[in-house]
Amino acid sequence: MSLLAQVRLTRGSLELDVEVAADEGEVVAVLGPNGAGKSSLLRALAGLLPLAQGQITLDGTVLEDPGKNIFVPPEQRPVGMVFQDYLLFPHLSVLENVAFGLRSRRVPAARARARGWLERVGLTDLADVRPAALSGGQAQRVALARALATDPRLLLLDEPLSALDVTTRSETRRDLRRHLATVSGIRLVVTHDPLEAMALADRLIVIEGGRLVQSGPAAEVTARPRSRYVADLVGVNLFSGRARGTQVELVTGCALTVGDQAQADVFVVVHPRAVAVFRQRPDGTPRNVWPLRASDIDLHGDRVRVRLVGAVTIVAEVTPAALADLGLADGREVWAAVKATETSVYPA
Amino acid sequence: MGRGRRPVPLPIGILAGASAAFFILPLIGLILRAPWAELWPDLTAPESLLALRLSLVASLSATALALILGLPLAWIYARVVFPGRTVLRALTTLPMVLPPVVGGVALLMAFGRRGLLGQVLDAAFGIRLPFTTAGAVLAETFVAMPFLVLTVEAGLRSMDRRYEDAARTLGAGRWTVLRRVTLPLVAPSLFAGAVLCWARALGEFGATITFAGNFPGRTQTLPLAVYLALETRPDAAILLSLVLLVVSLVVLVVLRDRWLGSA
Amino acid sequence: MNIRHCSLVAVVGLVAAACSPSPSPTPPQGGGEQTRAVTVFAAASLTAAFQSIGWAVGRADPRLRAEFNLAGSSTLAAQIQQGAPADVFASADQPNMQKLVDTGLVMGSPRVFATNRLQIVVPAGNPKGITGLADLRRPGLVVVLCAPAVPCGRYALQVLQRAGVGLEPASQEADVKAVVSKVALGEADAGIVYVTDVKAGGVKVQGIAIPDNENVVATYPIAVLKTAHDGRAAQAFVDFVLSPPGQRVLAGFGFGSP
């Protein structure tokens, strides 16, 4: 039982061209910036957005293939979807909402089953309440129950936690993880929050500008980002260039000395922690030393992140005390140093 | 609506007051001049009751017809894009701005004995619409339906269509989506549109008298009865006019939040 | 299109007011002297004849300008009683004029200025082959009459009674011109109107005579109203109508002499 989808479509100014494969029991997170095409991908899989080209096959059944004129309408696909705004039917009670899919598919004892699902998400006493009276977290659980009640082979979740405030989010994330774990079938979660992606999913795929940029286990994707977006999300510096031995020539022209030998096109990751900032040119072991200028200064918890621009653009992480000591401010000329051993290099 | 109580600017207050008076004075005039002593005998006189009953039957039938014909039209206007949609929409909204008598003449040209379709109906089925109650219903439907169509169309357009998407992913076919999601969500507009349509049909005069003619019990609706009573029984005319006015007032009060701008 | 505006329009329209008949165009007047306007409320059957009289009056006395309000006599009488600004009233029957006399709105006493007779009007070519009143009872025939409140309707009922013909019309129209137009359009097979209306109806209609013993003579009284702006001008108009030139105009349209 698996999903195999080649999705090619155009929506407004977005051209989506993505291939997604997932196996039974997998939770895949789809990560990407706004406008990347994540929601469009989900809608296409659900059948709400027709493909221009490509194919969608689920459990061996072809759901859509424009080339062969095959299109299974959404109501006939074994797909369930939890929407970003939940979209609970405002004129129906919570129980009727959850029972909706069952009644539409003419499943017997629909309401009894719906009650069962409400119990599983812990909302039995809210059965006769209207969605307007629910809190964010409760609405999310109802939306999940509603989608799961029809026992879909493919469950799509479009930013399931983004409508919640920060405090509810972490608690609901834990609940969601628990509920997702009890469900069989393939689960695809769209999110722009890497924490969420790592908490919920086994595998990550990253979509940017309608294209698949990176795919793999969560740990690998975050340790070895292959795009600026992922690097920014994870919070590391990313460089790309051509390696020759321990020298990497960056696309900007500058050279970076790395710890491991490498050849051809590579990515180099430097954690902001590994960037040291000096008032004057340091004289020591670091192979990578540049004169730069401080540009943006951000507080991150009890650390400060300083963006330095010049021959390279790099983010350094320092303590607030160090910031004050150096008199680091916008426009200040400084020197930055990175030890070659503090870099991580991998093929592009 | 600021928190502080600022006085209404004087020019606006004066104009608004004059405007209100413009509408309230005729009603007050009617109430003051009405021969209340004869209220019961006049209203229960056979001619009055006949006209009242016919008006109710005709206007309700017209509303039902408008619902059957108008809902699909409203749905198409709101959901389907096709060449010429703007023109078609304008044409079906025309009765709203057309002088009703002109509407009546147009109906004669189409459904009259020598009308485009009327000829066919007469020759093939022996169906004649002018001078019949059915003709009165047709005339009322013609002028009142645009109200229903526009209201429902606006409701459909402003509705969040993603609910329909959600329903489809849950397994609802197109008909189920319409029945269990779309219609309940536009129910307020549907109600408002139907009531407005009914009120307009109830008050229709020009198209009715031109197309359906005037005969007590068959085509003499309340407005026609008032018009003719004005000459012979002016007091009864005033009372019947009050009936129509009260009905319209009730309609507007009931719809105040849904239709005439909710605060 | 502003929905709110349209619904307000609908409400105002719901106050079923009588459609006010529109005034007819007035003949142009020359001369720089003070023009004296006379508002004449006249029965619908007088439409063509009075328009012609309006021109003639203007030619005779350039200062005099007649403006007409033409409708069913009962409608006009009701309007005058409600205070409509009329100077002269020309009715198609005595009872409507009497209403005004009884309420003291008439100056002096009314004079009969013309008579009229009734006729059966049918579409040109007489497709249904109507020969007399008895034929109107034929099943399936669509016959329209004036409403009983209107003089033409009252007269028609009298005529039918005299002929012993009981008839239920398909419609009771608000004025005699509406009857003629329904017949001319082909919507009705026959109607009962004045002979003058058949004549005025032109090539689209023709008349079937009603025998004298069954027919009624409609008498048209005219009077100056007490509410007249310019009593002398109003009287001048009435005098012209009663004068030989005025009578000649009326005769030309088919009216009988008083």
Q: pLDDT at position C12, please?
A: 52
Q: In the structure, what pLDDT confidence band is assigned to residue C19 with cuts at 50, 70 and 90?
A: very low
Q: Would you call C3 and B150 a contact, using CB atoms and an 8 Å cutoff? A: yes
Q: Would you call C72 and B231 a contact, using CB atoms and an 8 Å cutoff? A: yes
**pLDDT greater than 70 at residue B259:** no
Residue C14 lies in a domain: no
User: What is the DSSP code string of B84-122?
Assistant: THHHHHHHHHGGGTS-HHHHHHHHHHHHSTTSHHHHHII
Task: Report the number of distinct structural domains present in chain C.
Answer: 2
**Which helix (H) or strand (E) segment is C41 a member of?**
strand C36-43
* Domain span holding position C132: 116-217
B223: helix, strand or coil: helix
A78 close to B (CB below 8 A): no
Question: Phi and psi of A79, rounded to 5°?
Answer: -120, 135
Q: Whole-model pTM?
A: 0.77
Residue C18 lies in a domain: no
Residue C7 lies in a domain: no
**pLDDT greater than 60 at residue C6:** no
**CB of C183 closer than 8 Å to CB of C122:** yes
Q: pLDDT at position C162, please?
A: 92
Q: Would you call C7 and B147 a contact, using CB atoms and an 8 Å cutoff? A: yes
Nearest Cα to B151, choosing from B104, B106, B200, B210? Answer: B200
Who has greater pLDDT, B252 or C193? C193
C148: left (phi over 0), alpha (psi -120 to 50) or beta: alpha
C210 and C226, same domain (yes or no): no
C238 and C192, same domain (yes or no): no
B199 close to C (CB below 8 A): yes
> With b meaning 16 or more CB within 10 Å and e meaning fewer, what string describes A289-304?
bbebebeeeeeeeeeb
C87 and C138, same domain (yes or no): no
Residue C3 lies in a domain: no
The tens digit of pLDDT for each residue in B203-248 reads 999 999 999 999 998 999 999 998 888 877 778 888 888 888 887 7
Residue C84 lies in a domain: yes
B203 close to C (CB below 8 A): yes
Q: pLDDT at position A49, please?
A: 93
Question: Phi and psi of C110, rounded to 5°?
Answer: -70, 150
Question: Phi and psi of C69, rounded to 5°?
Answer: -125, 110
Q: pLDDT at position C1, please?
A: 46
Q: Give the Cα separation of A131 and A180 in Å (integer).
A: 22
B222 close to C (CB below 8 A): yes
Q: Give the Cα separation of C90 and C102 in Å (integer).
A: 16
C212 and C226, same domain (yes or no): no
Quick one: average pLDDT of C37-53?
91
List all residues 6 or more positions away from B22 whose beta carbon is below 8 Å from its beta carbon: none
**CB of C142 closer than 8 Å to CB of B129:** no
Angle at B225 between CA B209 and CA C171, to 5 degrees: 45
Who has greater pLDDT, B46 or B94? B94
Question: Phi and psi of A298, rounded to 5°?
Answer: -125, 140
Q: Give the Cα separation of B111 and B94 in Å (integer).
A: 18
Chain A 129-188, CB below 8 Å of chain B: which residues?
146-147, 150
C160 and C107, same domain (yes or no): no
C120 and C109, same domain (yes or no): no
Other chains touching C, judged by 3 or more CB pairs under 8 Å: B
Classify strands A2-11 and A14-23 as parallel, antiparallel or unpaired.
antiparallel
Q: Would you call A104 and B167 a contact, using CB atoms and an 8 Å cutoff? A: yes
Q: pLDDT at position C33, please?
A: 58
C202 and C229, same domain (yes or no): no
Count of H helices and E strands in chain C?
Answer: 9, 9
Beta strands in chain A (DSSP E): 2-11, 14-23, 27-31, 53-58, 61-65, 70-71, 79-82, 154-158, 186-191, 203-208, 211-217, 237-250, 255-270, 275-278, 288-300, 303-310, 314-318, 333-338, 343-347
User: What is the DSSP code string of A203-250?
Assistant: EEEEEETTEEEEEEEHHHHHHS--SHHHHHHHT-EEEEEEEEEEEEEE
Q: Of A89, A92, A97, A146, which to mutate for an interface test with B (greatest number of B Cβ within 10 Å)?
A: A89
C144 and C235, same domain (yes or no): no
Q: Tell me the chain A residues in contact with residue B161 when contact means C-beta distances shorter than 8 Å.
A: none
Q: Tell me the chain C residues in contact with residue B219 when contact means C-beta distances shorter than 8 Å.
A: 171
- Beta pairing partners, C78: none
**pLDDT greater than 80 at residue C43:** yes
Q: Would you call B248 and C149 a contact, using CB atoms and an 8 Å cutoff? A: no
The tens digit of pLDDT for each residue in C69-101 reads 998 888 899 899 988 999 999 999 899 999 999
Residue with tokens 């198609």: C92
The interface pTM score, or ipTM, of the predicted complex is: 0.81
The token duo for B178 is 């319409």
Q: pLDDT at position C58, please?
A: 87
In angstroms, what separates the C-alpha of B162 from chain C's closest C-alpha?
26
Who has greater pLDDT, A1 or B169? B169
Give the Å distances, CA to CA, from A291 to A276, A280, A286, A335, C138.
12, 9, 14, 4, 113
> With b meaning 16 or more CB within 10 Å and e meaning fewer, what string describes C187-219?
bbbbbbbbbbbbbbbeeebbbbebeeebbbebb
C120 and C204, same domain (yes or no): yes
**pLDDT greater than 50 at residue C20:** no
CATH number at residue C143: 3.40.190.10
User: Which residue in A has a C-alpha nearest to residue B188's C-alpha?
Assistant: A91
Residue with tokens 């012979």: B232
C110 and C42, same domain (yes or no): yes
User: Which residue in B has a C-alpha nearest to residue C71's C-alpha?
Assistant: B231
A47 close to B (CB below 8 A): yes
Give the Å distances, CA to CA, from B188 to A93, B171, C34, C66.
18, 26, 62, 55
In angstroms, what separates the C-alpha of B195 from chain A's closest C-alpha?
22
Q: Give the Cα separation of C86 and C105 in Å (integer).
A: 10
Count of H helices and E strands in chain A?
Answer: 9, 19
Residue C2 lies in a domain: no
**Torsion of the alpha carbons at A91, A95, A98 and A102, rounded to the nearest 10:** -100
Q: pLDDT at position A286, please?
A: 82
Q: pLDDT at position C8, please?
A: 52
Q: Would you call C187 and B108 a contact, using CB atoms and an 8 Å cutoff? A: yes
Question: Phi and psi of A189, rounded to 5°?
Answer: -115, 125
Report DSSP state, residue A12: T
Q: What domains, with CATH codes, occur in chain B?
A: 41-260 (1.10.3720.10)
Q: Give the strand order in the sheet containing A343-347.
A: A237-250, A255-270, A343-347
Most confident segment among A228-237, B6-15, B18-27, B104-113 = B104-113
Who has greater pLDDT, A234 or B181? B181
The token duo for A245 is 């031995």
What's the mean per-residue pLDDT of chain B? 88
Q: Would you call A47 and B168 a contact, using CB atoms and an 8 Å cutoff? A: yes
**CB of B194 closer than 8 Å to CB of B31:** no
Q: Would you call C147 and B108 a contact, using CB atoms and an 8 Å cutoff? A: no
Q: pLDDT at position B257, please?
A: 63
Q: Tell me the chain C residues in contact with residue B209 when contact means C-beta distances shorter than 8 Å.
A: 174
**pLDDT greater than 80 at residue B138:** yes
**CB of A305 closer than 8 Å to CB of A311:** no
A99: helix, strand or coil: helix
B147 close to C (CB below 8 A): yes
Q: Give the Cα separation of C69 and C43 in Å (integer).
A: 8
Percent of chain B beyond pLDDT 70? 95
Nearest Cα to A19, choosing from A52, A46, A51, A54? Answer: A54
Who has greater pLDDT, B166 or B242? B166
Identify residue B262 by its one-letter amino acid code.
Answer: S
Residue C20 lies in a domain: no
Please list the pLDDT of chain A residue by residue as tens digits (348 residues): 688 899 999 988 889 999 999 988 889 999 888 888 899 999 999 999 999 999 999 988 999 999 999 999 999 999 999 998 999 999 999 999 999 999 999 989 999 999 999 998 889 999 999 999 999 889 999 999 999 999 899 999 999 888 888 888 888 888 888 888 888 888 999 988 878 888 888 899 999 888 998 899 888 888 888 888 888 888 889 988 888 888 888 887 788 888 888 888 888 899 999 999 888 888 888 888 989 998 888 887 788 899 999 888 899 999 888 888 888 888 888 999 998 888 888 888
**CB of B134 closer than 8 Å to CB of C191:** no
C201 and C84, same domain (yes or no): no
C2 close to B (CB below 8 A): no
Residue C258 lies in a domain: no
Q: pLDDT at position C17, please?
A: 45
List all residues 6 or more positions away from B35 whose beta carbon is below 8 Å from its beta carbon: B42, B235, B238, B239
Q: pLDDT at position C87, please?
A: 94
Give the Å distances, CA to CA, from C189 to C120, C130, C214.
10, 9, 21
Beta strands in C154-256 (DSSP E): 171-173, 190-194, 205-208, 217-225
C130 and C213, same domain (yes or no): yes
Quick one: average pLDDT of B120-124?
89
Q: pLDDT at position A174, please?
A: 85
**pLDDT greater than 80 at residue C243:** yes
List all residues 6 or more positions away from B126 whose beta carbon is below 8 Å from its beta carbon: none
List all residues 6 or more positions away from A11 whose beta carbon is below 8 Å from its beta carbon: A37, A40, A49
C242 close to B (CB below 8 A): no
